[in-house]
Amino acid sequence: MISCEHIRYTYDGATYALDDVSLTIADGEFVCLLGGNGSGKSTLAKHLNALLVPDEGRVTVDGMDTADTEFTYDIRSTVGYVFQNPDDQLVATLVEDDVAFGPENLGEEPDAIARAVAEALRDVGLMDFERHETHALSGGQKQRVAIAGVLAMRPRVLVLDEASAMLDPRGRAGLLRVCRRLHEAGMTIVMITHYMEEATAADRVVVLDAGKIALEGTPEDVLTQVEVLGRLNLEVPACCQLALALRERGVACTPRVDEGAMVRAVAELVGACAGDGAEDPCAPADDDAGAPVSAGSKPLISFEHVSYSYEPSVRERARRRRLPRRKKAAAWGSDPEAIWALHNIDLAIRPGEFLGIAGHTGSGKSTLIQHMNGLVHPTMGRVAVCGENLADRRAADEAKTVVGVVFQYPEHQLFAQTVLEDVAFGPKNLGLSADEVDARVREALRLVGLSADVVGSKSPFALSGGQQRRVAFAGVLAMRPRVLVLDEPAAGLDPAARREFLDLVAHLHDEGLTVIMVSHSMDDLAELCDRVVVLNEGAVLMDGTPHDVFCRPDELRRVGLDAPAAQRMAMGLRALGVPLAHGRLYTIEGLACAVAALVQGGAR
């Protein structure tokens, strides 16, 4: 279908973004392209539909050379391309106009376009969304509209350039489901991703590094190579990690990339040894290790019966409440007609805590954290920081120095000419002396692992994405807050950068900061937090230690969340009759240890 022969490409003439890459993609194949940030994956993908033309070598699509401008539009309608950011690629206000954009450009007849639009929307599971406005959709829905827009041109290949990177777990699952269905119907799919779990669905995995193909093969072959992937800023899927951890403990186990298969294989191992609930040597001595810290101390931030509505007028709220509840609008996502973004929240955050906030998009997480420093005021109820009610203007100003909020994609808020100036923005607003400002800027940069002397005089826009985010972090830390509130601090980063950031956050917590982190990743929350709050439709659904929360997976699943991978596998094993302890929160290591004990105990 597509063949790349020894292609080389350079953006700046100095370094090759692609260096002698040869790749053939067969008709109907599902190929996954992996690689850290800057490994050349997107550049390669853009060659597949003539958005870029190689400097050397050649790319042919269905026999057509991409360098030949005569074929450009044939190639682009054969190879559809979906971009990373759902907000960048929709051209029209209405869903149907956007989906029709491609076929309109190809000059098809209006009847044919209408048919193509209806079919494409059906294929991505958005039937009857024709007249919806694109900006009001959720991220996952927008991305599916983007896919529909490509499908309406009836392509034979679909290229997804990190199309799931900015989506929440639900959106990602929906996107993956669409891809799988299209693939079953015969579509060739090229998917670029950071998420190893997504790569497991592919027929073939290609790993790029510095513009070269580093690894290539079936998911089983590639995704189990821990050392190589680690060097390439990637990591192996959780189920492979389990197999490798078992192997370390002397249990022979072939890594599988499919979680279900992995769980069955482990269950068989244990079953063959007829283990009968041997003593688990790795059970933590103190099972309540995660008890809330300093439960007795005075809360730093407290929410009392806080409710918040985007609709400020009481009359309008009452009117909406009287309206008959419409039939379930979309298959998922929050109801845009919902009256309350937050409803009767009671929450106390104590000094030194590491609080995780989970919940799907639209559950009120962002609204909740914006209450914490008085950016948003509750419609009803009261928020207090250090005992001061934020309804008071002075207290709200004061709260901004106590509670530092880092928004999602904070690098998008950088503005100054140099890094130093940008970080100094906060302290300067506090009216501090020049010396004090300078000291704080240096300290903040040091905390995020940057040197003021090296990057200080550079423009923040000239830094790499990861460094930009560090600078934005420093900008908040320079305010010397006692509480750090983070909204998805690791969103959109590759696995290695993600790891680094989470380590940074953990380090800041160790330095004595109270940390509140919003995250979609249950694994991260389980690993880092000592308390987790789950929000659903604006109300607190669960509040407790990770142990309390993640041992109730059924409830989590009902609100569109999941248990951490290790816990999920432990439950799968239990369902297959493996005698693992109930009500215990497992890590990969802990689970491997317990399983190894069962296997070896049974064998003895």
Q: Which residues bind another protein (CB under 8 A)?
A: 46, 49, 51, 73, 76-77, 80-81, 83, 85, 87-94, 96-97, 100-110, 113-114, 117, 134-135, 149-150, 153, 370, 373, 375, 397, 400-401, 404-405, 407, 410, 412-416, 425-426, 428-430, 461, 475-476, 479
CB-based contacts of 600: which residues, under 8 Å, 6+ apart? 250, 251, 273
561: left (phi over 0), alpha (psi -120 to 50) or beta: beta
To the nearest whole angstrom, how small is the minimum distance from the Cβ of residue 593 to another protein? 43
To the nearest whole angstrom, how small is the minimum distance from the Cβ of residue 431 to another protein? 9
Nearest to 450 by CA among 516, 518, 519, 500: 500
8 close to 14: Cβ distance less than 8 angstroms: no
Shorter beta-carbon distance to another protein: residue 376 or 593? 376
580 close to 594: Cβ distance less than 8 angstroms: yes
To the nearest whole angstrom, how small is the minimum distance from the Cβ of residue 214 to another protein? 26
To the nearest whole angstrom, how small is the minimum distance from the Cβ of residue 228 to another protein? 32
Instruction: Please give the torsion angle defined by the CA atoms of residues 415, 416, 422 and 426, in that order, rounded to the nearest 10 degrees.
Output: -80
Q: How far apart (Å, rounded) are the C-alpha atoms in residues 145 and 134?
A: 8
Shorter beta-carbon distance to another protein: residue 371 or 531? 371
Shorter beta-carbon distance to another protein: residue 328 or 393? 393
Shorter beta-carbon distance to another protein: residue 224 or 363? 363
Shorter beta-carbon distance to another protein: residue 132 or 204? 132
Shorter beta-carbon distance to another protein: residue 187 or 239? 187
DSSP string, 133-193: BGGGS-HHHHHHHHHHHHHTT--SEEEEESTTTTS-HHHHHHHHHHHHHHHHTT-EEEEE-
Nearest to 57 by CA among 14, 80, 33, 24: 24
Taking the CA atoms of the chain, what radius of gyration do you get in angstroms? Answer: 26
75 close to 49: Cβ distance less than 8 angstroms: yes
Is residue 95 within a helix (H) or strand (E), and if so which, with residue range? helix 95-105
Shorter beta-carbon distance to another protein: residue 34 or 113? 113
The interaxial angle of helices 238-248 and 588-603, nearest 10 deg, is 40
Distances (CA, A) of 509 to 439, 528, 583: 21, 10, 27
To the nearest whole angstrom, how small is the minimum distance from the Cβ of residue 180 to another protein? 23
Q: Count of CB atoms within 10 A of residue 238's CB?
A: 19
592 close to 249: Cβ distance less than 8 angstroms: yes
To the nearest whole angstrom, how small is the minimum distance from the Cβ of residue 67 to another protein? 16
To the nearest whole angstrom, how small is the minimum distance from the Cβ of residue 212 to another protein? 24
To the nearest whole angstrom, how small is the minimum distance from the Cβ of residue 82 to another protein? 9
Nearest to 389 by CA among 401, 374, 404: 374
407 close to 465: Cβ distance less than 8 angstroms: no
To the nearest whole angstrom, how small is the minimum distance from the Cβ of residue 240 to another protein? 34
Quote helix, strand, coil % in the chain, to nearest 5.
40, 20, 40
Shorter beta-carbon distance to another protein: residue 362 or 590? 362
Shorter beta-carbon distance to another protein: residue 332 or 425? 425
Shorter beta-carbon distance to another protein: residue 295 or 313? 313
84 close to 160: Cβ distance less than 8 angstroms: no
To the nearest whole angstrom, how small is the minimum distance from the Cβ of residue 121 to another protein? 13
Distances (CA, A) of 80 to 115, 426, 529, 577: 18, 45, 41, 46
To the nearest whole angstrom, how small is the minimum distance from the Cβ of residue 376 to another protein? 8
Shorter beta-carbon distance to another protein: residue 219 or 475? 475
